Amino acid sequence: MLAKHSLLYVLARGLPGLVNFAALAIYTRLLTPSQYGQYALVLALVGMLNMLIFEWLHLGLLRYLLTKIVPKPVFLATLLKAFLTLAVICVLGGIFWFSLGSRDQCLIFPGLALLLCTGFFNLNLQLKSAQLQPIDYGRLSAGKAVISLIVGAGLVYYGLGAQGALYGLASGMIVASVFWAKNEWQGLKLSCFDKALLHKLVLYGLPLSVNLAMAEIISSSDRLFLKWMHNEATTGLYAAGYDLASHILGVILMIINLAAYPLAVRALEQHGKKAACQQLQKNFVLIVAIVFPAAAGLAVLASGVTGLIIGEEFQNVAQTIVPWVALAALLAGLKSYYFDMAFQLGQKTVGQLKVLVVAALVNLVLNFILIPDYAVMGAIYATVIAYAVGLVLSAVKGRKYFQLPVPGVEIIKITGATAIMSLIILPFHKLAGIVDFLVSVTMGAIVYLFMILILDVAGARAMANQLFSGVKRAG
């Protein structure tokens, strides 16, 4: 079932992922580094605010909708009323901020629009995910990505700069929500608001929201420091390379998590801890087996990847930091999508918060120390170290609340297969052009899959034989 759901989410996230890479390619050609820096800074601030203000609603929805603690209409009415209340507070806050006056006033209302649209759009995404509806999830994601790129690129082309890209992203979210999720909210009565449910959502989701805000600080505070200590152009050069690598691995990790997390929760709720651990072990092997080679391949082929996607003005910095971002994304993914689940499944999310506070403080201190002298490299060093600290603390502290299985033998096998793959493609790291890149990626994938079969990772030989026998019978 995990493989089936993963495949569906690959399809659901595949097109949006490709469109996002197209957006990165277009924006790094239409925007100057300074304009791209403004765009990246607003995205970072919106990401942090969304985590603090709205994310607890999304997390509570994902965790409790299937438990049916209240009828679905009551659940959704409670969510909607809470969202609208928070949205009104955000609008008032935005107006107040604008009235104070600042050099970046022109970005306040695009940022506010993006914040509200992000909150509502993610609510719809989590609703589809919680109900195990990957096809509808895919419609929302693809619609948002395509509309955002068309509108945003058009506005940027006609001279609106960073504002145009932000308004494009907001418009994609709201249009996709209206077209593909409005039926979920029709006919709801806000009077069905359930205070006990809201209290439960707050207790579960708010600590996790703060957790995610701390994670957002680790991944995005470097942009704020770069702008403060250097300039917006430096921020833009850094953000383009960071976004490229983090988006590639982020899409992969999100696909796996969207398929795997609901299955683990359902196993725990319906069949108990033993069944959940069995499912979690499958989840972990799948994460490692896909993300290890993806991160290694991205690091080795950084020059070819950046040359294909990033605009020429951004390429030198991107080639330098992409291998480091790949490592940071790998550490962050293992922590967020696996080891942090010990706190979530054990319903002890305050423990997760403590871990992330430590990691965020490490990141902030190192940014302050390293960025003045080392600029973009100081920012990425701080990020890698902070994620490493967070991963170790999460793995150690989380065992008190829920002991996650860690199949060491399978990790060793996958690491070996990844190392051999990396050595095979290393001679091709300087090649440029789409054909050379595709050849090297294909060669790496073939070598890696061959090693997975040779080492029999997670019973790969038996699965291959079963697949071959099925194809043979069908033929």
Q: What is the pLDDT of residues 155-167, one digit of tens each?
A: 999 999 999 999 9
Q: Which residues contact 170 (CB under 8 A, 6 or more apart)?
A: 110, 113, 114, 116, 117, 118
Nearest partner of 364 among 225, 246, 234, judged by Cα = 225
Contact 455, 413 (CB under 8 A): yes
For the stretch 187-232, pLDDT in tens is: 787 877 778 888 888 888 887 787 778 878 888 889 999 998 998 9
- pLDDT (0 to 100) of residue 411: 93
Residue 301 has pLDDT above 80, yes or no: yes
Question: Given pLDDT bands bounded at 50, 70 and 90, which one contains residue 297?
Answer: very high
Reduced 3-state DSSP string for 363-417: HHHHHHHHHHHHHHHHHHHHHHHHHHHHHHHHHHHHHHCCCCCCCHHHHHHHHHH
Q: Indicate the domain borders of the chain.
A: 2-406
Instruction: Provide mean pLDDT across the span 105-131.
Output: 89
Burial 252-276 (b: 16+ CB within 10 A, else e): bbbbbbbbbbbbbbbbbeeeeeeeb
Mean pLDDT, all residues of the chain: 86
68 — pLDDT class (breaks 50, 70, 90)? confident
Tell me what the mean pLDDT of segment 132-146 comes to. Answer: 83
Select from 190, 224, 229 the least CA-distant residue to 78: 190
pTM of the full structure: 0.83
The per-residue pLDDT for range 328-339, each reduced to its tens digit, is: 999 999 998 899
How many whole angstroms separate alpha carbon 148 and alpha carbon 154?
10
Is the predicted pLDDT of residue 130 greater than 80, yes or no? no
Question: Looking at residues 345-349, what average pLDDT do you find?
Answer: 77
Best CA proximity match to 128, nearest among 282, 19, 12, 266: 12
pLDDT at 440 over 70: yes
pLDDT of residue 10: 60
Tokens of 229: 């200590």
Stronger pLDDT, 308 or 314, i.e. the higher one: 314
Give the per-residue pLDDT at 292.
Answer: 95
* Predicted local confidence at residue 248, as pLDDT: 86
**Number of Cβ within a 10 Å radius of residue 358:** 16
229-253, pLDDT tens digit by residue? 998 999 999 999 999 998 889 888 8
421 band by pLDDT with thresholds 50, 70 and 90: very high
pLDDT score, position 356: 86
What is the model's pLDDT at position 475? 57
So what's the pLDDT on residue 266? 77
Torsion of CA 380, 385, 389, 391, to 10 degrees: 50
CA nearest to 275, candidates 408, 405, 394, 462: 405
